[in-house]
Copies of this chain bind each other. A is one copy, B any other.
């Protein structure tokens, strides 16, 4: 195979993965993305999505999980592949090599529970949750990746029950409502209709336990019933 098309030599690639890790701070109603400070060239001193280059024998998913677990400790999370960015000239390191190496990035999208996500400080590393509306300038083409990830997040929560992966086991219906508002903005149905719709779907089980948060009537804690959701899995369904 090599040398077969001498006029059209194949490109050699290093493959990186970049994680777009979202979380929601329900207390402060903020949608957050995890960024890390770069300590190496290129883009030293700039914020970037947590990523890494894929090692020998390592799958893409493993590499993605490796960086994630180096940065945060988390119990529950949702992950899926996002997109691959692989054009020439997207990484300045390509110029450094005499031999023509390309850098391709496979991006992953993750959603984690904010309360349980403990950032791992390794002494030097800058690592922080940034609200989506107060982003710093990002390295590489990470802004494009993040934009695409945000689009996917907003679509995902509308049509699939991913949010239950990042809510606690038991939650009130206003927790759920607030979560949607924080992710999507507040331009959808009012709380009362939201309640009725979600409850009619039948996969939220009232535990009977009440919780009181300051003034106001105590709220019931609900649980997401995966079994009851199962039959609805493939139905088109808008959650908000």
Contact = CB atoms under 8 A, between A and B. Distances in A.
Interface of A: 1, 5, 8-15, 40, 53-61, 81, 83-84, 86-88, 93, 100, 102, 104, 106, 158, 236, 238
A1 B40 CA distance: 9
A11 B55 contact: yes
B236 A56 contact: no
B236 A58 contact: no
A14 B13 contact: yes
Contacts of A9: 55-56
A93 B1 contact: yes
B87 A60 contact: yes
A109 B210 CA distance: 50
A29 B54 CA distance: 44
Nearest to A10: B53
A44 to B, nearest CB: 12
A100 B236 CA distance: 44
Contacts of A61: 87
Nearest to A57: B88
16 contacts: A1-B93, A9-B55, A10-B55, A11-B55, A11-B57, A12-B14, A13-B13, A13-B15, A13-B104, A15-B102, A56-B88, A60-B84, A60-B86, A61-B87, A84-B84, A104-B104
A166 B132 CA distance: 38
Contacts of A88: 56-59
Contact of A59 (B58, B87, B93, B236): B87
